[in-house]
């Protein structure tokens, strides 16, 4: 990252981490077509690996606003039907239960009514996230 950006951004990131008790953070900035990365801290208290520009973090629900807005823009343009089967848009998408796949509508994906249990992300040391640990069905769901 350009030295001036790093000098300005580092204290902001470190203060936010201290204020919110965050063990580690990574920030990416795209400026004039060039990627810049700033990483601080550790991955977690339980698995304290240094954070770098390749560290994966769960981002929780922060993408729901973007996804929902983009989806509704496509609905308004007539390009997506909320009540259409997901398989019509994602023909290679599979579930362990073929009948569930037939019933799964686009609307279910954005309204927590699809029947999915949690999410699954394996952190760098191989330990599942707490939500995945509570949701063994997700771990066995085929991903293709």
From 61, 131, 135, 140, the catalytic residue: 61
* In the block, residue with structure tokens 């350009």: 2
Q: For the chain, state the CA radius of gyration.
A: 19
Q: Is 61 a catalytic residue?
A: yes
DSSP labels for 15-49? HHHHHTT-SEEEEEEEETTEEEEEEEEBS-SSS-P
List the catalytic residues. Answer: 61
């Amino acid at each position: 990252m350009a030295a001036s950006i790093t000098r300005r951004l580092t204290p902001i990131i470190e203060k936010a981490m201290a204020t919110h008790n965050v063990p580690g953070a990574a920030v990416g900035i795209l400026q004039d077509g060039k990627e810049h990365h700033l990483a601080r801290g550790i991955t977690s208290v339980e698995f304290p690996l240094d954070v770098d520009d390749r560290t994966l973090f769960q981002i929780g629900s922060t993408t729901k606003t973007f996804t929902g807005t983009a989806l509704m823009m496509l609905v308004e343009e007539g390009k997506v039907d909320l009540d259409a089967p997901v398989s019509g848009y994602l023909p290679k998408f599979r579930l362990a239960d073929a009948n569930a796949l037939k019933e799964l509508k686009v609307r279910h994906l954005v309204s927590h009514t699809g029947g999915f249990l949690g999410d699954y992300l394996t952190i760098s040391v191989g330990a599942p996230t707490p939500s995945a640990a509570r949701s063994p069905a997700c771990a066995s769901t085929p991903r293709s």
